[in-house]
Structure 1
């Protein structure tokens, strides 16, 4: 598979078959993912593969209340996420069936390995994620190459202390995301909807489109 095809078709999968994902498939994906860029080559990312049914259910039980609150806000018009109703329904089904996904991967990062140069700015600090999320996306792409789908969620990060206790994550680590992994029930997308290049790229100044 060409890299560009993998990048264009690695969407969020919300419906999975019950076919197990072999350890070899996961190993090969992790082997590629670890080469993602990170500050100072500190390699802060660790992965916890959760197959145990009881632990998957515990994670799903922690996840669902946050999804329900989010879903309720969308349903009553309090929150506008810009998604079409079909996508919202699909996400709701995903949330209620999270425990049945073949594999849940918890993305963990060592705090000492992050260098958030924006921590003192008067806004949300995001720079530390630059040493985490490229590696995570590498994993999703490496899985896609092998015909395995994924869905990244961060809602469970609300419950970091409970997740730490459940999975024995030591102090000094944060949970950056949780990834559902499995073979797709249906098929991979052939065309993801994204903003055109003309709308998102400027030159020299924010309001100067580079491409017209």
Structure 2
């Protein structure tokens, strides 16, 4: 698959077929993922592929209450989201059926392999993720290239300690994301909806657009 097409059509898959994902497909995806950029080439990311039914159910049982609380916040207006109602509905279906996806890939990262330069700025620290999430995106793109769908979620990181115990994750590793993986039940999107470049790219300053809006 051509790279740009993969980038434009690797949406969040929330409906999966029950077919198992072969090991060789996962190996190709992990092999590509490891070339994602990371600070100092420390390679902090480790992966756990969960396919056992009992473990998947345990992860899903942890996930569902967190999602439902978030969903209630959306419904009651205390959580502001720009997602369309159908997207929220699809996300609810995903949460209800997480334990049934063919595989849940848990993304772990070694704390000593991260270098967050923003932790003293008095706001949410995010820089450490630069050594994690590019590899996750590579993984999802490599799956897409093979016709496999994925859904990245970070909600379950709220239950990191219980996930750590369930999957025997060492204390020096954190959980950074969970990726549902499987063959999609529905076709891949032909085109994802995103803000146009005229709205998101500045020239020299934040408020000065680099590209003029087409007349």
* TM-score normalised by L of structure 1: 0.99
Cα displacement (A) at 1:78:
2.1
TM-align CA RMSD: 0.6
Instruction: Tell me the secondary structure at the aligned position of residue 180 of structure 1.
Output: strand
Instruction: Tell me the secondary structure at the aligned position of residue 5 of structure 2.
Output: helix
Cα displacement (A) at 1:80:
2.2
Cα displacement (A) at 1:40:
0.5
Matched pairs, number:
212
Instruction: Tell me the secondary structure at the aligned position of residue 191 of structure 2.
Output: coil
User: Which residue is equivalent to 2:3?
Assistant: 3
Paired with 2:38 and 2:15, the residues of 1 have a C-alpha distance of 31
User: Which residue is equivalent to 1:43?
Assistant: 43
User: Which residue is equivalent to 2:119?
Assistant: 119
CA offsets 1:35-54 (integer angstroms, 9 cap, x no match): 00100000000000000100
Structure 2: runs of 5 or more not aligned: none
User: Which residue is equivalent to 2:33?
Assistant: 33
Cα displacement (A) at 1:75:
1.4
User: Which residue is equivalent to 2:165?
Assistant: 165
Mapping of residues 54-203 of structure 1, within 5 Å = 54-203=54-203
CA offsets 1:2-27 (integer angstroms, 9 cap, x no match): 00000000000000001110000000
Cα displacement (A) at 1:73:
1.1
Paired with 1:205 and 1:171, the residues of 2 have a C-alpha distance of 42
Structure 1: runs of 5 or more not aligned: none
Paired with 1:25 and 1:91, the residues of 2 have a C-alpha distance of 25
Paired with 2:171 and 2:86, the residues of 1 have a C-alpha distance of 40
Instruction: Provide runs of 4+ in structure 1 moved above 4 Å.
Output: none
Paired with 2:113 and 2:74, the residues of 1 have a C-alpha distance of 37
CA offsets 1:83-123 (integer angstroms, 9 cap, x no match): 11111111001000000000000000000000101111111
* TM-score normalised by L of structure 2: 0.98
Instruction: Tell me the secondary structure at the aligned position of residue 128 of structure 1.
Output: helix
Between 71-80 and 107-116, report the one with greater CA deviation.
71-80
Instruction: Tell me the secondary structure at the aligned position of residue 210 of structure 2.
Output: coil
